[in-house]
Every structure is written in structure tokens, then in C-alpha cells.
Amino acid sequence: MINFGKQAGVRLGILGMIALSLGGCTVTAPRLTPDVAVMNQEVHTDQLDHQFKVSVRPLVTTGVRSEDRQQFGVDLSAYFTAFYVEIENGLSHPVWVDATQIFLQYNDQQPVQALSESEGVEYYRHGDGLRPVLTLIPKSRKLEKEELSKIRDLRLRSATLPPTSRHAGVVYFRKIQDRDCDGVILRMREIQIEEAGSSQEVHFSFRCGD
């Protein structure tokens, strides 16, 4: 009986360590929502007569009822801080959007650049560590391949938007932490509009919580 108790204790200890490890692996990015009070103070498109529109929406794919999860088919919040960007060109001439020049800033720190495709793949596999994430039930190669394919396909890419066209995609960043949720700003620095004669920057403010 004593030996059985020791074995049970060891098993419980191992299961406890696995549970803690698994819990750490499932930490998702904080939920971000638009900071309407700040956004109302920012003017981005007045000079363009509202014919050129950029909208940005933080993605929340956690939970079985997540509309974002149903739409995109992968739990992006488990791996990234991600935003869905939609651009509508209602002007009479093309507009160039450089998706490599999108940055996220928080806590008044230096802005961090959106992950490139190769960086996104590595971050999906390794997170902020140097080794692949350990899980109780390892992800199959087939599932990993499917998720990476979706992540690549969803990515916002640089493009020239013809008149009356629309362009959309997802921008990926390393997961921000709860402590970094002060003054979150997404900046799109390179939008070249022929009529304006120079590159435009638009930015959007967010905060943590519902």
C-alpha cells in the first residue's frame, strides 16, 4: 500500500507538471479593442475626402464561439497578436501599400515591425523561446502544415491598388503581454497616394479589454 501511494504521488506530480507546462503553452495574446476616445482625435483621411479608407480590426480567435476563428480557420491568437487590415481605394488613381512598413508600438517603446513570412513561420513553431513548444499531445505534421498554409494565405501583402479596388489581409506581430497593453498603436507608414505627392501614414489606437 505504501508503494502504491508513492507511485500515485509520482504520477500526480508528473501530471501536475504536464498540466502546468500545457497551461503555459496555451497563453493567448491579450484581447485588444479600438480606443475610440483616442481615434476620434486623430485625422487621417480628411485631405482625401474620405475616398480612401483603411480599417484595422484586432483578431480574437480564442473560444469555440469566436467568429474570427470560424472565419479564418486557425487560432491565430494562440500564436500572434494579429490584426485584419482592409483597404479600399475609392480614388481615381492607383495607390501603393507597403505591407513591410507596418509597426506596433506600446508603452511608449520603439515600434516593432510586423513579422515577415519566414519570421511568422519561425514564431509559430518556437514562440518566444529557442526550442519548439512542448505539448501533451504533439501537433501532427499534417495539422501544422495546414495551419501554416492558412497563416501564409491570410497574410497582408504589399500591393498596388487600382481605382475602385479593395485589398485585405492579416498582419502578424509577436504576442504582446498584458503588461504591454498601455498605449497600443498600429502604424502603417508607407501608403503612397499619387494625388498627395508623398507617402502617407495612418495609425490606430487600441487598449486591452472588452
Whether residue 84 has pLDDT greater than 90 = yes
pTM of the predicted model, to two decimals?
0.78
Q: Report yes or no: 77 and 62 within 8 Å, Cβ to Cβ.
A: yes
Distance of alpha carbon 149 from the chain centroid:
16
* Cβ count near 197 (within 10 Å): 7
What is the structure's pLDDT at 135? 52
What is the structure's pLDDT at 108? 78
Average pLDDT, the chain: 78
Distance CA 26, CA 170 (A): 21
Q: Report yes or no: 103 and 112 within 8 Å, Cβ to Cβ.
A: yes
Whether residue 167 has pLDDT greater than 70 = yes
Residue given cell 490606430 in the structure block: 204
Distance CA 115, CA 129 (A): 16
Distance CA 40, CA 128 (A): 35
Return the bridge partners of 87, or none.
54, 167
Helix (DSSP H) and strand (DSSP E) numbers for the chain = 5, 10
Lowest model confidence (mean pLDDT) among 34-38, 42-46, 113-117: 42-46
How is residue 39 written as a grid cell?
481615434
Distance CA 210, CA 207 (A): 9
Distance CA 179, CA 202 (A): 25
Distance CA 50, CA 54 (A): 10
How is residue 5 written as a grid cell?
501511494
Distance CA 137, CA 77 (A): 19
Average pLDDT over residues 50-68: 85
> How far is residue 10 from each of residues 44, 45, 46, 135, measured CA to CA in Å?
61, 63, 66, 20
